[in-house]
Structure 1
């Protein structure tokens, strides 16, 4: 059985692949019912709960269907016995946006907890640097 950091890395990589495919069930897999997400678009007070998290994805998938990328470039994971965090940089944008701003990266931070031997994303934060 892989170690905790490897399990978390696999969970995050599968999540990113599901995001890129527009697979809502895959995006929701491995997320806690009480997830809190701070995202780039409003609401700025965040999204609370899995139902609210679910509702944020269809508009993103519509935008992404225009040919946008959502690719992990770097991913670091630190895992304890029952809590962990991960941070990543992703290429996220349409081909035009990425050509115009080739160094732009989406910043992703995740907080995870272990429940019944399974890692769950309990906190998710997305941001772009302010120019």
Structure 2
């Protein structure tokens, strides 16, 4: 009977270690591996009230820039950590610094730094104009 109890206790300890190990394998990587956010969605800027930038991750990293009378389309790519680069006719390999926690990014255009804030997680592309 004593051998049976020792075997049962040993089996339960081994089972506990396995379950705890599986738990750690799922939880620890979330704290160790720092995922860098990828730009996605629609962003606007307070300094430029009629300007928006749209990043469509699901459409081959397509990027759209809308200004009052200007529309530009290109692509974007992930750099290191919080950097992204946009390429289009207006932006040639222009660096964007993304702050994923605050859902913002900064960009330098025409020598000035602008802060864009995410207004929607979805890429909202509006080709309508007021005529």
State if a TM-score over 0.5 links the two structures: no
The structure with the largest helix share of the pair is 1
**Normalized against structure 2, the TM-score is what?**
0.35
Q: Higher relative contact order at CA 8 Å, sep ≥6: structure 1 or structure 2?
A: 1
**Normalized against structure 1, the TM-score is what?**
0.35
